[in-house]
Structure 1
Amino acid sequence: MSARDEALKAAQQQIGTETGVSNWITVDQKMIDDFAKATHDDQWIHVDPERAAAQSPFGGAIAHGFLTLSLASRFAYDCFDMLPGQVMAVNYGMNKLRFLKPVLAGSRLRGRFILQQAIAKKPTNMLRTNLLTIEIEGEKSPALIAEWLGLAVFED
Structure 2
Amino acid sequence: MVVIKNYAEFEAHLGKEIGVSDWHKITQEQINNFADATLDHQWIHVDTERAKTESPFKTTIAHGYLTLSLVPYFWKQIADVQNLKMEVNYGIEQLKFGQAVPVDSEVRCRVSLKSIINLRGTTKATLFIQLEIKDQPKLAFSGDALFLYHFR
The alpha-carbon deviation at position 59 of structure 1 amounts to: 1.5
- Deviation at 1:100? 0.6
Superimposed CA distance per residue, residues 76-133 of structure 1 (whole angstroms, 9 cap, x where no aligned partner): 11111123x322321111111111100000001111101110100222x101101100
CA distance in 2, matches of 1:17, 1:82: 16
Query: Counterparts of 1:1-156 in structure 2 under 5 Å?
Result: 7-83=6-82, 85-123=83-121, 125-155=122-152
Match of 1:3 in 2: none
Q: Please state how far the C-alpha of 1:34 moved relative to its aligned partner.
A: 0.5
1:30-49 per-residue CA deviation (whole Å, 9 max, x = no partner) reads 00001001111000000011
Q: How many residues align?
A: 148
Letter in 1 for 2:80: D
Instruction: Tell me the TM-score normalized by structure 1.
Output: 0.90
* Shift, 1:142, TM fit: 0.9
Q: Residue type matched to 1:130 in 2? A: L
TM-score normalized by the length of structure 2? 0.92
- Deviation at residue 56 of structure 1 after TM alignment: 1.1
Task: Structure 2: give runs of 5+ residues left out of the alignment.
Answer: none
1:24 and 1:110 in contact (8 A); partners too: yes
Shift of 1:7: 2.9
Contact kept, 8 Å, 1:65 with 1:99, in 2: the verdict is yes
Determine if contact 1:23/1:110 at 8 Å carries over to the other structure. Answer: yes
Does the CA-based 8 Å contact 2:25-2:106 persist in structure 1? yes
Q: Contact 2:96–2:143 at 8 Å: present in 1 too?
A: yes
3-state DSSP of counterpart to 1:111: strand
CA distance, structure 2, for counterparts of residue 122 and residue 59 of structure 1 = 52
Gaps of 5+ in 1: 1-5
